[in-house]
Every structure is written in C-alpha cells, then in structure tokens.
Amino acid sequence: MSAVLAHLAGAIAPASAAMAEARADDGPLAAWLAGARHAPRPTLARRTVVCVLADHGVVATGVDLGPTHPTLRAAQSLVDGEAGVTAAARAVGAALVVIDAGLATAAPRPAAMIGLGRGPSGDLATGAALTPVEVTAAVEAGAALVVALAESGLDLLGLGGLGAGADLAAAAVIAALTGGDASLALDDGRALVAAGLATLPPRPTALDVLAAVGGADVAVMAGAILAAAATYVPVILDGTTALAAGLVATALAPAAGGYLACAHGGGGRAAAAARTALGLTPILALGVGHGEGAGAAVAMAALRASAAAP
C-alpha cells in the first residue's frame, strides 16, 4: 500500500455511534446518516452521483468499434442527459459526474467526461487485470476526485458504473474477498472468473485482488469511498461494481463500512454476496437501473426525507 493510501485509510474515523443513537427513533436511514455525517440532523444539500465507465479485457474482441462502441455510446447518453441516471439525478437535484476509467476504443470521448488517460483493464482470466502501479494510481485517482468535489461542497455521494465485462470483474472481486467462487458470476462468465481466481496467491490482499481480477472502475470507486469516509460523506453503492468497491475499501479500512449504504436489491448473486458481507440492507426493495447510478439517485430522495424527519 502506498504512503498516500495508508494515510487515507488511517484517517478514517468510525461513524459516530452517539449521533446514530440520537436518531434511532427516526428509523435506520436517519440513524445511519447521523452517524456517517457525525451530526444529529445533517444537511444533504450537496449531492453528487459519480458514474465510472470502464471496459475489461476479459471480453475484448480485438476490434475497435469506434463511435459505435457500446460503452462510448452510453457515455454520450449520460452527458447528453438522455440516460435514466441523468433524469434521476436531475429529479433529486444531484450533480452527475462521468468518469472514463478506460474504454476499449480510441474514438473521441464526450468533452464533459473526466478521463484518467488509460485504456481498458487487462484480461482477468489470466490474472493480470492491472499492474500494482495501475491499482495504486486508480485508487488514488478516485480519492482525488472526491477531494476535488468536496472543495465545492459534498454531503452525499452515489457511486455506479458500467462497461464491457464490468459485472464479470466485480463478481471476481466479490468472490475473492468473500470466500466465494465463480458461481457468483453469470453462467456464461463463470469459466473466465474461475480461471482468474485460480491465479490469486494464498491470502491475497484487497490490492492483490484488484490487480489480478479487478479493474480500474472498482479501484477508482474504492478510492472514492475511502476519501468520502475520511471526510464524513455517506456513500450510496449502486450495482455490483460499486459493491465490489465497497468490499475493497472496507478491506483497506474497516471503519469505512459505517459510511456505506446500498441503493437497491438488484444485481444477482454477486451483489447479494457483497451486501451480506458488508451488512447492508437495500434502501429500495426493487432493482433500479443497471448499476450505473440511477438507483443511487432515487435512493437520495429517501435519505433526504429521513434526514429531515422531525
């Protein structure tokens, strides 16, 4: 672990049990918010949803589809205001930030995207999704993003993502960190996930797991969680990739778990395993969107109501 990450992880204080207890009679959401914000009646005026886009080499075709690349088209829809998460964020008064953590095309990106200047992750089936240097850089980039957002005010953060192979990488990370296996992945990806998990060393660290079978999207979100927790900003996890990032963050800094909530109950076996490991109950009973952040935006409305409860 780099000195920056070690300092960040060490700076995270546990959520305030006293503040949570003060709002216990108002329900679990109000109590969680009070504990995470270290305030009995926290303001949630400044809300941001971050959608991290990244492709993964495990599903690479070797063909650059250019402007028709699915992840790039999704990115364009996000920044053009045509995606569901955009509408949901707008409805709850949340800002939407779109991150390019590595798309598998050289085609021009939308100008409104924040790029990390990297390509897609490697093939997790070979145990080489990222180099250790890439892992550290991506986690630190996620932390730096939240620090930058906090400069203009940040009270509540939602995390989501999408990309080719993202669910496979997230399932592999979740399996590795929960003691699960390839059955957490969808049927057509289980052999690939099993191959990747077989490359892990005995008792791998969370950073080892990111390097072998993770991706820049998971790493960026993990860094964002660490920085948010260090600054008392609660985080809503939306989708399997964000839940995988939650596991990574809490492996690096267990106290970060007190700042996490889960948007909804969708996402399949891998998401369910991650929610169980993190001890999270979904805010919304039904699946919302596709893990790209729409569920986090919708959940923000429930949290605002809970925070304002008399």
Supply the residues annotated as catalytic.
Answer: 292
Is the separation of the CB atoms in 240 and 171 below 8 Å?
A: yes
Distance between CA atoms of residues 28 and 200, nearest Å = 38
Length of the chain measured in residues: 310
Sign of CA dihedral 134, 173, 57, 119: negative
Location of structure tokens 């995207």: 113
Is the separation of the CB atoms in 193 and 175 below 8 Å?
A: yes
Q: Side chain identity at 219, as an amino acid letter?
A: A
Kindly report each contact of residues 77-84 with a partner whose C-beta sits within 8 Å and lies 24 or more positions away, as own/partner.
Answer: 78/51, 78/110, 78/292, 79/110, 79/111, 79/112, 79/113, 80/110, 83/292, 83/294, 84/289, 84/292, 84/294
